[in-house]
Amino acid sequence: MDQSVQFKHLAEIELPEIVHLLNHPGVRALMPLAAEPADAASARAWVESKESCWTQYPYGPYAIVIGGSFAGWGGLQPENGEPDFALVLLPEYWGMGKTVFRMLLHEIARNPEIPAITVHFPELRKNRNSIERLGFVREKAVLLEGQPFIRYRLTIAGKKL
């Protein structure tokens, strides 16, 4: 099975594939901020909002393609004025998460304007210690849109990746 990983712009992905990801029950179960189920119009607006990061900041999220198939999205987006990391994969690609994370981190680390990143990990997730094994340090509990998260930080500047 081809497990080659590519990063593309989300706008390059067919809209039905985006809708499928945003509505997948396994994905939605892990995303407490997921809004109403997506349709073509809301998925298009979602893609446009993610793509706009690239014009406003020196970073943004990518579409993740594994073995030629759209697998999810990941990268950086702004959260409280800081670059915040997100990685959302369809369940059939969850075993690739660590590999994709490391590849994204290498991409992020090439930008000297990004000395550190945060990640907001939902409290409902049982495997929170996995984020610490990746090098993130727990900062504090926070509420985002009324939902409880734990904010972690990873310092990139000066680290050998």
pLDDT in tens, 41-94: 999 999 999 999 999 999 999 999 999 999 999 999 999 889 999 999 999 999
Q: What is the pLDDT of residue 2?
A: 74
What confidence tens digit (pLDDT) does each residue in 81-98 have?
899 999 999 999 999 999
Alpha carbons 32 and 122: distance in angstroms, whole number: 7
Q: What is the pLDDT of residue 114?
A: 92
Q: What superfamily does domain 5-155 belong to in CATH?
A: Gcn5-related N-acetyltransferase (GNAT) (3.40.630.30)
- The residue among 148 and 33 whose pLDDT is bigger is 148
Q: What is the pLDDT of residue 62?
A: 97
What confidence tens digit (pLDDT) does each residue in 107-142 have?
898 888 899 999 998 887 777 778 888 889 999 999
pTM to 2 decimal places: 0.90
Alpha carbons 133 and 129: distance in angstroms, whole number: 6
Helix/strand number for the chain, H first, E second: 5, 7
Domain ranges across the chain: 5-155
Q: What is the pLDDT of residue 31?
A: 82
Alpha carbons 108 and 48: distance in angstroms, whole number: 21
Determine the distance from the C-alpha atom of residue 34 to the mean position of all C-alpha atoms in its chain, rounded to a whole number: 13
